Structure 1
Amino acid sequence: MRKDFKLATTSYPELTNAISTQVGQLRKNIPNTMKGFSAMAQGATSDGSLDEKTKELVAMGIAIALRCDGCIGFHTKSLIRLGASRQEFEELLGVAIYMGGGPSLMYAAQALDAWEQFGGLRK
């Protein structure tokens, strides 16, 4: 991809920041629901037989399959934080494309855009 070409108009850092702001409001307004969701997220992503990075790779594949822009942003950010390589990320995108066909290809391209926007290394 040319470095001067932007695939999408979505700014994933801006999108995740905006969602985080609204989630903060939900934490205040529906605290029991949000505590339950947070507990579920912690239980699902904590190390077990699979490590946290592997679980985030699975979550990213699901985010692409379900076409969730916010999920793509948050899971991309987490994968970069967890030290995923671009090669691991691209292999995940390949599996997501295989499982989801053309629509997943479109969202895989957007996920690659999110990777670059969050500072993931280019080839």
Structure 2
Amino acid sequence: MRKIVIRAGGVSIRAKLLDTPTAERIWAALPIEAAARTWGEEVYFDAPVSSAAEPDARVVVKPGDIAFWPDGDAIAIGFGPTPLSRTRGEIRLAGPSNVWAKALDDVRQLKCVHPGVAISIQEDG
């Protein structure tokens, strides 16, 4: 099982990669470093990869889903409602996104990450 660690400020979240084309592209691009941006209760950041929406791309994700937003070439990690959420607690991304990893740690830690903070993804282990 391939694992990554996402670090931003004092936050560290481990995740396992899924078997998807997007996961392969991101794994090949590691390490990734960017500046964090926020949108409601979502942290997202630019990724040096491109990937079309996969057949199972979704707009609504669950806590712990690590997604790639094809329209913005960005990695998106939702941990609560966004400006587009329609119901309490719904995590609705800006558009269809490919879920490529599952967090092994609580993504709500990202609540303390502010825009501009350095964020990175690298292999874990």
Higher relative contact order (CA 8 A, sep 6+): 2
Query: TM-score, normalising length from structure 1?
Result: 0.27
Identify the structure with the greater strand proportion.
Answer: 2
Identify the structure with the greater helix proportion.
Answer: 1
Work out which of the two has the higher radius of gyration on C-alpha atoms and give 1 or 2.
Answer: 1
